[in-house]
């Protein structure tokens, strides 16, 4: 690997981890001189219904500014990241891309995303600090505009909690005790399950506990996936699985759907997008669930993790960065655009004002019994912990699925599975040519 690339990756990691403000801007939007007359932009996104939202732009502000955007639907996750990087190597990346927050360090360090701070810096106040930080990587640069977020919450069957005399847990110790109480009162039921096919959920729980999986030390990367915070999370969930007071089956299977629809499982640690999943997975329990903040590791804390979320970024290959940045800002701050994104795409906006207006003025139909669902969600979203992502999140996540999948199935040591995750991530980084300190 060329020294310059390794150095930029290290600098990016340092910025993410330590909030440095000296990362050199790459691909800054200095093309305004060339932007006159009609401009055509291409946007790669996986969000459903995005074409309807973009139509609002093309018929309104975009038409006035002679900027037309064409949506090209893509796969999400690692598939899209790989496609973006491949296109960028050929200098043929689209003008705009949708990027998950954890993918931004990889894209930035490969010089695929432009710094659009000059064009969109004034919209910072429209987002929570922790959310905005994910698109700046802790620097003065801005590499994307936040689009949607996934603050984590606790969902529970209100009727069954009442039936079994259970109190909604506010700490993880209380959560464990609630699981034990339910098992004693109803041996055929579990509070919830540990799902070993949801690496994003585990990452969010570690984030809430204070984990920072990728940081730097001098000129080297430091991978701390098995840090004390994450060890605490792994040991906690592994203990509950081994004790037999929660289930150890993956989520989103027919078996899991049946468990939550019939009341065999009566709670779910999830994120703000959970109502959409429950509508399909547990249709017979509509109106019986309630949402509360995530349990805390200490009663004095008030912090949540994040599970999901993405941004809109401008690529360094775009010949029209100013126009692309203008569209990205409009898409994620304009009232009509955000309302359409919520209704047509089903997203929960990163914009704090949008979280309490338009499509979010009433609770989700599935939670019609909880009138304060979205006001409560907006308050929880403000407490999202900062993140620290690295260049090979995909490897860490894949190893989680394998190692924790086996540990959950066998009810074996979750700490050992965490070490496998750490070792595999470090080994991959060294194989790629990174300098890594243990």
Of 73, 29, 76, residue with least CA distance to 50: 73
Decide if pLDDT at 97 tops 80.
yes
| Residue appearing with tokens 């432009």 | 114
Arithmetic mean of pLDDT, 55-81:
94
- pLDDT attached to residue 332: 97
Tens-place pLDDT, residues 389-419: 888 898 999 999 999 999 999 999 999 999 9
Arithmetic mean of pLDDT, 283-300:
96
- Look at 15-24, 224-233, 240-249, 415-424 and tell me which has the smallest mean pLDDT: 15-24
Beta strands in 192-275 (DSSP E): 214-217, 220-223, 267-271
- 167: tokens are 């109190």
- pLDDT attached to residue 434: 86
CB atoms within 10 A of CB 95: 26
Encode 336-400 in three state secondary structure.
HHHHHHHHHHCCCECECCHHHCHHHCCCCHHHCCCCCHHHHHHHHHCCECCCCCCCCHHHHHHHH
Distances (CA, A) of 185 to 155, 168, 193, 212: 20, 16, 18, 39
Rounded Cα distance between 59 and 54, Å, is: 9
- 399: tokens are 């190893």
Tens-place pLDDT, residues 293-325: 999 999 999 999 999 999 999 999 999 999 999
Q: Percent of the chain at pLDDT above 90?
A: 77
**pTM of the predicted protein model:** 0.87
Mean pLDDT of the chain: 90
Max mean pLDDT among 33-37, 57-61, 220-224 falls in 57-61
Decide if pLDDT at 269 tops 70.
yes
- pLDDT attached to residue 35: 54
Rounded Cα distance between 31 and 201, Å, is: 40
CB atoms within 10 A of CB 368: 12
- pLDDT attached to residue 218: 67
Rounded Cα distance between 391 and 354, Å, is: 31
Tens-place pLDDT, residues 323-352: 999 999 999 999 999 999 998 888 999 999
């Amino acid at each position: 690997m060329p020294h310059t690339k390794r150095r930029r990756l290290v600098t990016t990691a340092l910025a993410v981890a330590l909030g440095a403000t000296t990362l050199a801007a790459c691909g800054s939007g200095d093309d305004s001189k060339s932007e006159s007359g009609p401009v055509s932009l291409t946007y790669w996104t996986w969000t459903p219904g995005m074409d309807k939202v973009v139509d609002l732009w093309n018929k309104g502000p975009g038409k006035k500014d002679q900027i037309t955007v064409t949506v090209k639907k893509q796969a999400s996750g690692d598939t899209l990241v790989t496609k973006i990087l491949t296109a960028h190597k050929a200098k043929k990346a689209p003008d705009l891309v949708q990027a998950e927050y954890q993918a931004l360090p990889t894209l930035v360090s490969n010089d695929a995303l432009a710094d659009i701070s000059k064009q969109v810096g004034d919209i910072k106040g429209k987002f929570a600090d922790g959310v905005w930080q994910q698109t700046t990587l802790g620097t003065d640069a801005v590499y994307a505009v936040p689009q949607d977020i996934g603050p984590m919450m606790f969902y529970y069957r209100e009727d069954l909690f009442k039936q079994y005399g259970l109190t909604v847990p506010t700490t993880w110790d209380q959560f464990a005790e609630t699981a034990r109480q339910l098992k004693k009162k109803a041996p055929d039921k579990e509070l919830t399950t540990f799902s070993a096919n949801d690496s994003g959920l585990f990452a969010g729980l570690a984030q809430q506990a204070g984990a920072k999986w990728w940081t730097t030390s001098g000129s080297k990367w430091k991978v701390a996936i098995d840090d004390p915070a994450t060890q605490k999370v792994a040991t906690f969930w592994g203990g509950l699985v081994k004790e037999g007071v929660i289930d150890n089956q993956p989520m989103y299977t027919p078996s899991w759907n049946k468990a939550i629809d019939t009341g065999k499982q009566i709670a779910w640690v999830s994120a703000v997008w959970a109502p959409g999943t429950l509508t399909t997975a547990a249709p017979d329990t509509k109106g019986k669930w309630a949402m509360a903040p995530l349990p805390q590791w200490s009663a004095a804390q008030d912090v949540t993790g994040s599970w999901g979320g993405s941004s809109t970024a401008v690529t360094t290959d775009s010949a029209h960065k100013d126009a692309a940045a203008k569209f990205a800002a409009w898409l994620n701050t304009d009232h009509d655009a955000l309302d359409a994104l919520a209704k047509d795409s089903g997203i929960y906006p990163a914009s704090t004002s949008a979280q309490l207006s338009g499509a979010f003025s009433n609770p989700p139909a599935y939670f019609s019994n909880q009138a304060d669902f979205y006001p409560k969600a907006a308050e929880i979203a403000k407490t999202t912990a900062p993140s620290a992502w690295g260049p090979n999140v995909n490897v860490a996540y894949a190893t989680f699925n394998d190692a924790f999948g086996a540990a959950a199935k066998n009810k074996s040591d979750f700490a050992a599975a965490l070490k496998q995750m750490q070792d595999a991530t470090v080994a991959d980084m060294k194989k790629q040519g990174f300098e890594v300190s243990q």
